[in-house]
A and B are shown apart, each in its own frame.
Chain A
Amino acid sequence: MGEFMVHRVRFFDYMPSAIRAMAFNAGTQRLAVARADGAVEIFNFADNYFQEKVIPGRSGRAVEALCWVGGRLFSAGLNGEITEYDLEKLRPRYSVEAYGGPIWTISCNNQGTLLAVGCEDGTVKMFEILEERIQFQRNLDRQKGRIISLSWHPSGARIAAGMIDMIRIFDAKTGHATHRLLVERGLGTTRNTEVVVWSVAFLSDDTIISGDSAGKVQIWDAATGTLIRNHLITKWDVLALSVSQDQSSVIAGTSEGTVVQFQALASTMGQENSQWVRTRTFKNHSHDVRALVHTDTAVVSGGMDTQLVVRPLLDKVEKNTRESAMRKILFPHRNLVCCAKKAGLLLFQFPDHLELWRLGESNMQGQPGDILPVMKKPEKLLQLQNKGDDHICCSAVSPCGGWVAFSTVSSVRLYKLQLSNGNISINKVSKLPKELHSVYQLCFSSDSSRLFASSAQASVVVASLDQLQCRHLHTLKPKSGSSQPIHLLSPSENGKWLAAANTDGQIHVFNLHKLKLHCTLPVYSSCPTAIAIHPTTGHLLSAHADQQIFEFSLKLKEYTAWSRSLQREGLHPLWLQRDTPITHITFNANKPAHVFLHDLFMFCIIDQSLPLPQARKKLYNQMDLKTRSPQERMQESHAFKICKMFQHLLSVDLLDNSSLVVVERPLADIVSQLPPPVRQKKFAT
């Protein structure tokens, strides 16, 4: 496996943002997640829960609710606007002011024709969904008090609105309120505080289910407006409800971090009439569960503790399969760290600023396993604050450390850095070519003379960098490019090749000398999560969301023998069971056969000269090998050398002086920065 000096970096104070809203599109299996900083993330549940797209947030834009209409995604927030997103350009397409004060909720009818929003001023506003935009249609009867939650009857004829202390049922056609369901307040001291109906669900059998701030989940009969059953499930708030597709199960998320499932069960076997019975309780969160989605096989929950949890329902999935494992998505599935290999610098990307750090140094030598004393402490060289409200979507530092670039949805900024014996000077490159205005990914060539930026229509802008100058050289375009954005860019070490991957799974390789498309790899069904071109052999290595690895020879334009044998023998089952994607691939110049990859919980060196592991052999055998004799070691060793010493890895990179940089973000640090959870009485405390 080799021995390295490891820079164990723990000063990247990345703090994920709390989850505010979620919406699931069962047709495309896409989950949209809105975070407190306004960012919207798209997860592809069909592709191993891979985070395909991130629409960067904007300070001042708080998304309160999300709604899918077909393939279109709408959001509404407390700024009073309804926003539709452009999922190809990864930016809001347009915003419509609802003129009703802050919007608390948004809901689309089953037919996909009308969008209802609930406003602070007590109105439910209907918007007609047109081809390219939405248009205000009408107001329903105005109520006193804000509209907190909305739910359409599946027929689209009625709509239920959760308000303060009550639920209203409106006739969608006439706009008149037909029923008023009074929600009881809490007991004791909470009797004087009004109860907020945080969430309602209107079922096709005329049942309304509501969750409120008194901790109740109530089942109502919408036809008569009567309360059927009352379940007190928490002392705090019930914040979210979600109904399964077949309407036989409802989940409720509470402030205590629990998710409670209710199921419609026949009281005696073989009978039709069912009643709603509280069944399971899931406790996967430490804080408020703000958003819930009930998919066919799983409960997806997110909240204040920033984690997205996919908890499979064991009665709906096969046991001991990939679907039956619980997933916690803690960090973005992309790199927020950029490493300047030659200069030993790290660039950390935050939503509103960048940090540039110089790694520490140590002149001591030690045995493997020793912790070397740091002679020169790591140093924060630079903090680049973003101007404007838009958040940073991508950033890069050049390998020499001389250039830093970042981009928001509207603009790209490029800075020239000069580091000379402790002094640092930074100069903004003022004139950028006009092609560089909205990019999704940035990267520098290995000799730092080129800047590559992926732009709209799957094109790549190539710009040359000179002293404080940036010139547009060429825009590379694939022949039959899909319109999906390019999310990965990887230039080759020798500056000849540039590989670009988009979320449709296409990987294009451009010849930079000729400035034209070299080849397009066969499209694999799963989205690539990391690509890299080998510096010496010129093979393109790609890792995919379903944990497959491919190696493609750019010279021969075909998969290499190693890749074929890997596909033939299959990857080790334990490798395939990992639940975080490979986010970075790099190579060791001294040992060409070695490939470095990492995900959140391990990093791995694939030695392509060694045999592949058999399915029945141990995958994690490094500790085991240490104790064996050299001869046995040779027999037992295999190509995958896995190290789990470092956890919650955000980046692993190999510097030019053969030392390894490992960026960790311990979960305990994130938990300690969260606000205190609601008080709960624990038994025997």
Chain B
Amino acid sequence: MVEHGDVRVVHKGGSKINFREPALSIDSRFLLCASGECVKVFSTSTEECLHELQGHTDLVTGVLLRPSNHLQAYSCSLDGTVRLWDFTDGIPIRTYVIGYPIHGIYASAKHEGVIFIITPMHTDTNSELFQLVAVHLPQSGEQLVEARELSAVLSNVSSNPAATAFGREGQYIVSAKPLELEVYFFKKQKSYSFYLKKDNQKGGKNTFTCITCHPTEDCIASGHEDGKIRLWRNFNHKKEYTYSTLHWHHSAVSSLRFTPEGTNLLSGGVESVLVQWRYNQESQRDFLPRLGGAITHISVSPDGALFCTSHSDNKITIIQSCVKVSAVIQGLVKGDGIRTDLMIDPRSKALVLNGKPGHLQFYSLQRDKLLFNLDIVQQEYIHESGLQQFEVVMAAFDAGGSWLATVEERKQKDAELELSLKLWAFDDRRQSFVLNTTISAPHEAQITALCFPHVSDGQTTMLVSTSRDGHFKAWQLAAPAHTEADKGLSWSCDFVGAYHSLVPERCCFSADSSLLAVSFQEVVTVWTPASWELLTTLSQPPGAIRDLCFGRLSCSKYLLAATTSKLLCCWNLLTCSLEWVTSMDVSLLRADPLSENMAAFCFEAGSTDLFVFKPCEPRPLFSHKALCSGRVTHAVFAPREVMLESCDESSQWLNSSQLFFLSPSMDLLTFITKAEEDRLMASNKQLVVSDDVAMTPFHLLLGKHQKQQQDNPQQESSQSVEPIPQPSSSAGINELLQMPAHVLPSASFLCSMFVQSLLISVKDPSASEQNKEEEEMESEKEEEDSDGEMESRISRPEHMPSGGQESVCAAPTLTKEEARKLRRLKKLDHSWMKGLLDK
């Protein structure tokens, strides 16, 4: 057993961004949202995460702009601290230690130097009672400040931050308990309570769910369990208070917000429709439907230009003036449960799992960003609880990524199981999967496993599915016999296999696809797909087979099986004999496609351990005790784009692939080596460049140059693959030509930059002919440089590689002839180049 300190488990993206209401900066350019233990700052226009404000040691439970300084933000956390940040630069300013877990934070411009937090009433117990506490923040220049001046304002409030709100100009604070509305006036130090009956006659539930106050008038809007919105007025009277009722939502209203001027009221709920009510003209309302998952929070930017809605599918939608969705910040969708396995799309190298109901999500692990959703079910999802709708339960990619098989099912209470198997072909033209074949009712019972053979030439023609009905079926891609050939290929059933009417659980193809292993409870049967003969059976009773896996590369003769009787068996298929057996409770077995390594997740004493080993030698290469509590049921090896060159034995297994797994609490975790971590830190620092500087062509030219002069030319280009808006070269030229001469830098300097910006990669075949002239003029060295540029095209402009540096040296070598050609080029229309560059 070897354990090494330099490989550690880290969170790799996918944390919740919809936990609390996000805050929008005053100029609507930044969005701050609590995400796990850090606060993420997103750009509202590019959807990119600019900074992660790290420092809290527990779940962040609230983010709030500081009312007295709109460039600073407070964040509060269960770790009992409130932190003040400069979010534009990502700098922590101050930490206030409160000492109690904080569940929510409020502040108002009228209460200078005071914040209001929600803390449990009894610190020692996990009580359900919470109180609203005013905290006087001490004035101090120190980094770490203890705030001990606390005074309780309201007791017995809800821990839900949406159930408390400040009223007009901070004059009063409103808190909703399940059936009571309490208004506390600061000036009079008096509170009024208004009660609702538990149920009205029609069975509507009157429980408060959320609350908000009108910014300029004395009006409180409250959302209720039955979908009603009540507008309370005259609440400074014990008896003569009054409310009016608005009703559009059919189930609980989860968020309410007034626009900054108070002209509109926004509401959202399970229906995933943003409803905009005209204040005082409530019969007029606007809808923005089909936003995705249920709306959990709504926030409005202080200038009213942007709304943003958080959704239950871990998404933040940014909406411009209630008509247009301008940006979507999508985290990893973690719905009610991951039914499919984790997979890697061989083409996009994206992590694939089911996300939105009826969809597969493609999630880029490098960029921590959702690439796209593939609609599998292709049916309208009805946002209502209790409905049984089609779900994607299984999916599989073939080795080349040209076929995708999916299984969807729906089980209604008294109806039969509805199953369908869909096969999707990758369409090169559309760069997406296109439905090729739908097989309804492929099996009579639930499908337990799907498997494509590993074919090296990329022409997959077979799929094997196993089902609880006791059969496994092989599906063949072939032209339908009775139709014309031009109809195209489709999938049909080729073979149905069974073994002693036992239920098949797992299936697996060997590395060269010459063998298919299907596990029937405690028996492993080995078949040849060529003739569908049963070659042999392997069995190691007692205990049914839980997972089955062939070795890879040099170990492809080994077949590994994990059984429920806490055994991990390894058979040698050449001798058909048991090679070795060890006793461990393996819940999941994964093979690295690029090496012989296998990962086994073992459940031991309430937590999961990981062992990495090669089948040929029963000795773990790496082991990690207690990865996380509970059983790990989803894991995948993701091939690296660039091989790591780690020589350390314990981290060698991470060289070709990275292992990702989902913890039972649905966190996506991975392993990282020390060296990699250091490298990432370094590149992260580099990334902290001001996004504020406007992207003018002049900046692109000049800024790039300055950067390159500062940067070490030897430095490797960053691994980041974010696409940048490529500046249109012709536009840049126009800009240059129109600029007054006296503000331009020296012509020799500009010229080289200019030529550089016009260069086209030699690797681009379509462009090569047209650019022959230029190419001839470039030296061999410059050709290499343009290679470098092609690589860097997918990186940020600030990190232009060494190419520019070289061309500075080349600049004085420009002859007159070249200059003339350059001038001629200037007159040409270069817009076609932009198209090429973008491609």
Contact = CB atoms under 8 A, between A and B. Distances in A.
B239 interface: yes
Contacts of A232: 283-284
A683 B283 contact: no
Contact of B240 (A233, A277, A315, A683): A315
Most chain A beta-carbon neighbours within 10 Å: one of B240, B243, B250: B240
Contact of A684 (B216, B250, B280, B284): B250
Most chain A beta-carbon neighbours within 10 Å: one of B237, B243, B280: B280
A617 to B, nearest CB: 28
A267 B243 contact: no
Contact of B280 (A229, A233, A281, A315): A229
B244 A280 contact: yes
A267 B219 CA distance: 8
Interface in B217-272: 217-219, 233-234, 236-237, 239-245, 250
B281 interface: yes
B281 A230 contact: yes
B217 A267 contact: yes
A263 B282 contact: no
B233 A279 contact: yes
A61 interface: no
A278 B233 contact: no
B275 to A, nearest CB: 14
A269 B282 contact: no
A66 B29 CA distance: 64
B282 A278 contact: yes
A563 interface: no
B623 to A, nearest CB: 57
B473 interface: no
B168 interface: yes
Contact of B241 (A278, A281, A315, A316): A315
A59 interface: no
Contact of A275 (B168, B280, B284): B280
Interface string A231-243: 1110000000000
A269 B236 contact: yes
Interface string B637-676: 0000000000000000000000000000000000000000
Contacts of B234: 263, 265
Interface in A231-278: 231-233, 263, 265-269, 275, 277-278
A609 B620 CA distance: 98
Contact of A265 (B242, B282, B284): B242
A315 B233 contact: no
A328 to B, nearest CB: 14
A277 B245 CA distance: 12
Contact of A231 (B236, B239, B242, B283): B283
Contact of B242 (A229, A280, A683): A280
Interface in B200-222: 216-219
A280 B231 CA distance: 10
Contact of B283 (A233, A266, A277): A233
B28 to A, nearest CB: 28
B216 A279 contact: no
B168 A268 contact: yes
B11 to A, nearest CB: 43
B242 A263 contact: yes
B182 to A, nearest CB: 17
Nearest to A216: B283
A277 B280 contact: yes
Contacts of B284: 232
A232 B282 CA distance: 8
A526 B242 CA distance: 34
A186 B168 CA distance: 36
Contacts of B241: 315
A361 B250 CA distance: 55
B280 A265 contact: no
Contacts of B217: 267-268
A91 to B, nearest CB: 42
A268 B280 contact: no
A62 B219 CA distance: 45
A279 B280 contact: no
A612 to B, nearest CB: 34
A137 B301 CA distance: 65
Interface in B563-601: none
B243 A279 contact: yes
Given A265-B233, A277-B233, A315 B242 contact: yes
B678 to A, nearest CB: 59
A317 to B, nearest CB: 9
A294 to B, nearest CB: 14
Given A267-B218, A315-B242, A683 B250 contact: yes
Contacts of B243: 279-280
A230 B216 CA distance: 21
B219 to A, nearest CB: 8
Most chain B beta-carbon neighbours within 10 Å: one of A265, A275, A683: A265
A280 B243 CA distance: 6
A268 B215 CA distance: 11
Contacts of A316: 240
A279 B283 contact: no
A281 B243 CA distance: 10
A279 B237 CA distance: 16
Nearest to B284: A232
Interface in B421-478: none
B617 to A, nearest CB: 65
A278 B250 CA distance: 22
A249 to B, nearest CB: 9
A276 to B, nearest CB: 9
A408 to B, nearest CB: 43
B245 A268 contact: no
A11 B217 CA distance: 59
A230 B239 CA distance: 28
Most chain A beta-carbon neighbours within 10 Å: one of B237, B243, B244, B282: B244
Nearest to B243: A279
Nearest to A683: B250
A504 to B, nearest CB: 36
Contacts of A233: 283
Given A233-B283, A277-B280, A279-B244, A269 B250 contact: no
Contacts of B282: 278
Contact of B218 (A269, A279, A280): A269
A22 to B, nearest CB: 24
Nearest to B185: A269
A230 B244 CA distance: 16
Interface in B337-383: none
Nearest to B233: A265
B216 A277 contact: no
B250 to A, nearest CB: 6
B242 A279 contact: yes
A637 B244 CA distance: 47
A229 B241 CA distance: 22
A277 B241 CA distance: 13
Interface string A644-685: 000000000000000000000000000000000000000110
Contacts of A275: 280
A273 B101 CA distance: 45
B250 A277 contact: no
Nearest to A317: B239
A232 B285 CA distance: 12
Most chain A beta-carbon neighbours within 10 Å: one of B168, B216, B217: B217
B192 to A, nearest CB: 12
Contacts of A279: 233, 242-244
B242 A268 contact: no
Most chain B beta-carbon neighbours within 10 Å: one of A233, A266, A277, A280: A277
A605 to B, nearest CB: 32
5 contacts: A229-B280, A280-B242, A281-B244, A315-B241, A684-B250
Closest 5 CB pairs of A and B: A232-B283, A267-B217, A279-B244, A279-B242, A315-B240
Given A266-B218, A278-B282, 9 more contacts: A231-B283, A263-B233, A267-B217, A268-B218, A269-B236, A275-B280, A277-B233, A280-B243, A684-B250
